[in-house]
Amino acid sequence: MRLKEMQKQLTRLTVVLLMAVAAASQALPGCPNSCGSVSSIPYPFGVGNSSVSGKNCFLESDLELTCRNSTLYHGDGNVEILNISLAGKIDMLSYISVVCKNKSLGKDETPGDYVSLTTPAFAISSEDNKFVTIGCDTYGYLSSFWNGTQSSTGCLSRCDTLESVERSMQRSGNCTGTGCCQVDIPPRMNNISVEAFSFNNFNSTSDFNDCGYSFVVKNGNYTFSVDHLSGAPVNNNMTTLVVEWSVGSDTCEASMLRADYACKSNYSECENSTFEYGYRCKCKQGFQGNAYLLDGCEDIPECSSNKHNCDSKDHCRETPGSFECFCPVGLIGNGTKEGGGCHPRQPADAFKKIVIGAGAGLIALFIGISWLYLMYQKRKSIKLKQKFFQQNGGIILRQQLSTEEDSSQTTTIFSAEQLKKATKNFDESLIIGKGGYGTVFKGVLSNNKVVAIKKSKIVDQSQVEQFINEVIILSQINHRNVVKLLGCCLETEVPLLVYEFVNNGTLYDYLHNQGQGVNVSWKTRLRIATEAAAALSYLHSEACIPIIHRDVKTANILLDDTYTAKVSDFGASRLVPIDHTEITTIVQGTLGYLDPEYMQSSQLTEKSDVYSFGVVLVELLTGEKAFSFSRAEEQRSLTVHFLCSLKEDRLFDVIQVGLLDEENQQEIMQVAILAARCLRLIGEERPSMKEVTMELEGIKLTKKDPGINTDKICNESQYLLRETQNSYEHGDTSSQQNTEYDSLREHEVIDFGNGR
């Protein structure tokens, strides 16, 4: 027993010695650790140079101290230091500012003393101090200077007689504004100055108050007395105040990579200064000491110093920066006071262990099976993607892309994950259009590029090679008025096509759905028509393989933010070898735009696009939809209604209200005649898209000429209309109208929305 007691005492003595050594080692080796009544001078503060290394005992000049006559001062000045805390605070003595009546000059007062502390590494502690002003006509300022800006606080003290001060103190307590005032100090005040002023009103109070005082004082270190109005409020004209200190001049983040970074200990951490100048170092939780020294932070011995919650010191084990409670062999429990400590093992505990072990085993088995299932599903998903990639012609596409010489026009092959992420897993809120050939989603790629992603219908496996060829050809189209195909994804059952995003809707919306059609000027309409015609002309005659759009309509002409036309939606397009006419088994298109000749013969030519473009021109002229059941029966087909009005010399009756004026009358007549030519039933009699483009360009460039024979234009239109009417009559127009509608009941295309 005696041996055990001696061991305990020896342990306690060791702890005390360790704490004493830690306290004695706050300074750098060879540097003074104390001065007079200041028992500890911790680094980064220091006095003079080290007797061991000869280097400064302080980290930087703002933290240099001087020990004179057993009194510690800041730098070479006269600011006395009383105590330094590594928590970032210093107790020091500071002079008070005094302003007194100059009796030799009558009522004038002597200038107030100016007290300052101009070290940016120090700031007045707002939570540990008060600012006090004493006097009957006195006000004081506490000013702070930072980055060329001054901020101040202060208070005013007034009184008439000594009795009024005494009554106020009895009623309200000390320092309430009569004879003495005090205020809280705002945070982040450094480079400070204190100054007292008088209102020069000593007449009424000269019997008991000749001087006024202003000073900063530590909380609890000053109590106002009436006697202080007739004499100095503190001894030696000095008060104790608390300042906060920091090292460096920048933040932790900016200082960590510098050679002069002050947090040297391996167990230290950095925190930014509360007054926005520099930073401080402290030991991590579970450690104590001086974080500014290389080995300054030491593990706190929680077990031996009784700073633990274990039920016994014998059940406490030290760990780096902390401790842990345990129960020795033969006992069970968690070893903590809150958890009931340690107690002998019960017979039922073995059964509990078995149950717990079995439960843990089952959980581990479940986790293992779940992991294997997830891996199986992942491999299955990868194989399915590979299957779809091959099925949709991915290998063919890669082979063809590897032989492409022009790398600038290479098609991008996107992964399914890329497009899922871009569309938030094809969120329905991102759908911007639906049509007979697929659904279009708005997406944002990883490089923040906004695109339109088209989910097409099932591709005919016998046409895979043709589909891949079409993708490559369409991706090589580079025309400012054609929507650019950026790439595709073949890892899904339904191939995905990625187009550039056009953000201002369709020409159809602009003419019919937004109520803005009347605001679209003739000049803008003519420009849009010219741009769309140029795009179709490029597809017909300038692409490496001619491309027939097959679904030209206002809903497939997109407008960007400058209202530039861009032809889109090649879902029905066909690549046609030169001098070859495509024979199709199913007539596809949109009601009101279909070429009657194509409907009868199923022979697809470039002139089918010309007919559809003629309908677009009529829409631009009239502002009406191509086909509408809401109109009278004889007016449901816009083309028939338009041609009849033109024949009966009523063209200007069908032109949209507000569009026609004296300046554009001739242009509108010319475009109407061009539209009628495009709408001829016999395809060979229609102009090519190249001719249409040239004529529209010519109309745009032609100025109004007073000398033009308007009768001649009218005669030409009458002749053209007679020819067109004859062709319609011989072709049985009404029958064709019904055939067109019937053939489209199962194939009518729904217009795509904004940005396809």
3-state SS of 290-338 is: CCCCCCCEEECCCCCCCCCCECCHHHEEEECCEEEECCCCCEEECCECC
CB atoms within 10 A of CB 570: 26
Cα distance between residue 66 and residue 85, in whole Å: 17
Cα distance between residue 33 and residue 52, in whole Å: 14
pLDDT at 30: 92
CB of 594 closer than 8 Å to CB of 736: no
Residues in Cβ contact with 121 at an 8 Å cutoff, skipping those fewer than 6 apart:
60, 62, 63, 190, 245, 246, 247, 277, 278
The closest of 61, 190, 80, 213 to 137, measured between CA atoms, is: 213
Indicate the average pLDDT of the chain: 80
CB of 55 closer than 8 Å to CB of 43: no
Q: What is the mean pLDDT of residues 272-278?
A: 88
Q: What is the mean pLDDT of residues 460-468?
A: 66
Q: For this structure, is 427 an active site residue?
A: no
Q: How long a stretch of residues is the chain?
A: 756
- Binding residues, by number, are 455
pLDDT at 5: 57
Which residues, listed in sequence order, are joined to residue 574 by a DSSP beta bridge? 548
Second CATH level (architecture) for the domain 394-499: 2-Layer Sandwich (3.30)
Structure tokens of 48?
């003079």
CB atoms within 10 A of CB 698: 11
Q: What is the mean pLDDT of residues 236-252?
A: 90
Cα distance between residue 400 and residue 472, in whole Å: 8
CB of 244 closer than 8 Å to CB of 189: no
Please provide the CATH number assigned to the domain covering 507-743: 1.10.510.10
From 509, 551, 569, 609, active-site residue? 551
pTM of the predicted protein model: 0.47
- Binding residues for ATP, by number, are 455
User: Where do the structural domains in the chain lie, given as residue ranges?
Assistant: 99-245, 302-345, 394-499, 507-743
Give the β-pairing of 485-489 and 412-413: parallel
Cα distance between residue 130 and residue 89, in whole Å: 16
Torsions phi, psi of 184, nearest 5? -70, 155
Q: What is the mean pLDDT of residues 376-390?
A: 81
pLDDT confidence of 566, banded at 50, 70, 90? Answer: very high
Cα distance between residue 506 and residue 557, in whole Å: 6
CB atoms within 10 A of CB 332: 14
- Does the pLDDT value for residue 201 go beyond 60? no
Q: What is the pLDDT of residues 517-527, one digit of tens each?
A: 456 789 999 99
Q: What is the pLDDT of residues 74-116, one digit of tens each?
A: 987 778 999 999 999 999 998 889 888 764 433 344 445 667 7
pLDDT at 723: 54
